[in-house]
Amino acid sequence: MSHLPALVDGFLTTLALVALSFTGAFALGLVVVVLRIGPLGVLRAVGTGYVETFQNIPLLVWLVLFVFGLPEVGVRFPLFTTAVVVISLYEAAYVAEALRSGVNTVAQGQGEAARALGLTFGQTLRHVVVPQAARRVVQPLGNIGIALTMNTSLAAVAGVVELTASANRVNLVEALPIPIFVGAGLCYALLAAGIGGLAGLLERRLAT
């Protein structure tokens, strides 16, 4: 197959999309969850609004808005960057919800005890809640990572030549649908298995 390099390129692009978007989504999700559980009413509303907006509008709509809409107001980024930004923004809402339900699994008494000891909100989070919640959010975050991997395929619609797009292009030339699409499916399954394995490893490492 002379088009193997194109498929490998697509796979590497998907890999880069996944790695960068997940990093972005995690960082932003952390900020949003701190807003959502924090003591400031305005910021709680901002956090809730963020999660609601991004969870209730399809990723494809966000991609179309950012990729085709932003140039109309004079904001231009490379396609790949835009895709990473949009997927990060979108998945951050899910990361924030996963982190929040992790925090909620920590018994209320723990937070109360921390306050009784005079710890501030930040100290309570850092020393009491996060160490206990960390282990419980690993699996949900792994699932978000897998969903994110699947969602990076939507970047193909916006014109990023990642794995799905390159499989489609190569198939249009070579007309070997079964090996190409099964191969692409296997690559995604491999990525998902890798993320699942990583999550399992991390979970065991965090077990105390």
Partner 1 sequence: MMFDPPGPRGRRRSRVATAVSVLVVLALVVVAVRRFDAAGQLELAKWRPFLTWPVWRYLLTGLWATVLAAAAVFALASVAGLGLAFGRMSAFPWPFRAYVEVMRTIPVLLLIYVVLFVLPAYGLDLPLFWKLVLPLAFSHAAQFAEIFRAGVLAVDRGQGEAGASLGLTHAQNMRLVVLPQAVRNVLPSLVSQTVGLLKDTALGYVVSYLELLQSGRVLANFNHLLIQTFLVVALVYLVVNASLSKLARYLEARSARSAR
Alpha helices (runs of H) in the chain, residue ranges in sequence order: 4-37, 41-56, 59-64, 79-105, 108-116, 121-123, 130-151, 155-158, 163-174, 177-206
Complex with partner 1: residue 62 or 80, whichever CB lies closer? 62
35 neighbors 46 (Cβ within 8 angstroms): yes
Query: CB-hemisphere CA count at 13 Å for 126?
Result: 5
* One residue of 114, 160, 170, 199 binding partner 1 per CB under 8 A: 114
* One residue of 8, 27, 61, 113 binding partner 1 per CB under 8 A: 61
Q: At 98, list the tokens.
A: 């996963």
Site for partner 1 in 63-82 (CB under 8 A): 64-65, 68-69, 72-75
Q: Is 37 in the site for partner 1 (CB under 8 A)?
A: yes
3 neighbors 170 (Cβ within 8 angstroms): yes
Q: Which residues bind partner 1 (CB under 8 A)?
A: 37-43, 46, 52-53, 55-62, 64-65, 68-69, 72-75, 108, 111, 114-115, 121, 124-125, 129, 146, 149-154, 156-157, 164, 167-168, 171-172, 175, 177-178, 181, 184-185, 188-189, 191-193
